[in-house]
């Protein structure tokens, strides 16, 4: 009996920990700067918070975009919603993509346009993530967006030959 109570407590603890610390699934990986269309509806519903757990999306969906940056990145990001009733939150983090990752951009202004913003600390070369969500209880609270990314991304070798 004592073992079953311990096992039950262990399972409950794991469920609680997984709801507090959620990993995210990226919608796409950007390999170039420019403008990119997307939609947040129904995505990353298990991600109940981001930016060190301080930002709580409304539950309609959160897009996560992976961005691999190069040295001296000087990244700028902006987002424009084309859906009435979807006022996006724009957040940017480096390192692991999880609810506990700290954000260097964490911006919303309750309009359909956010940014362009430059992270307060420019990232070192590596993997970064952009969160696009809506924190407000409005309808539909998700929708189409256009993400704009500027800066320096890694150069990919397309062709190489020795003569």
Domains of the chain: 23-150 (2.60.120.380)
Instruction: Please count the CA atoms within 13 angstroms of the CA of 159 that sit on its side-chain side.
Output: 0
Supply the pTM of this predicted model: 0.76
CB neighbour burial string for 120-139, b if at least 16 within 10 angstroms, e if fewer: eeebeeebbbbbbbbbbeee
Q: Which residue has the higher pLDDT, 71 or 64?
A: 64
Q: Quote the CA–CA distance of 33 and 24 in Å, as a whole number.
A: 22
Predicted pLDDT at 157: 56
pLDDT in tens, 15-66: 333 334 467 788 888 878 899 999 999 999 988 888 888 888 899 999 999 9
- pLDDT, one tens digit per residue, over 87-141 is 888 888 887 787 777 887 777 777 777 777 777 667 777 788 888 998 888 888 8
ω into 116 cis (within 30 of 0) = yes
């Amino acid at each position: 009996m004592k073992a079953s109570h311990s096992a039950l407590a262990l399972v409950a603890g794991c469920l609680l920990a997984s709801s507090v610390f959620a990993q995210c699934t990226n919608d796409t990986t950007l390999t170039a700067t420019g403008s990119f269309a997307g939609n947040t509806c129904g995505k990353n519903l298990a991600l109940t918070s981001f930016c060190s757990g301080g930002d709580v999306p409304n539950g309609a969906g959160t897009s996560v975009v992976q961005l691999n940056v190069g040295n001296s990145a000087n990244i700028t990001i902006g987002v424009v919603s084309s859906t009435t009733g979807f006022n996006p939150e724009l957040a940017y983090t480096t390192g692991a993509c999880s609810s506990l990752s700290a954000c260097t951009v964490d911006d919303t202004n309750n309009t359909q346009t956010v940014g362009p913003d430059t992270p307060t600390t420019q990232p070192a070369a590596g993997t970064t993530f952009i969160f696009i969500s809506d924190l407000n209880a409005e309808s539909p609270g998700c929708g189409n967006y256009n993400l704009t990314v500027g800066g320096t991304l890694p150069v990919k070798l397309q062709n190489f030959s020795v003569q």
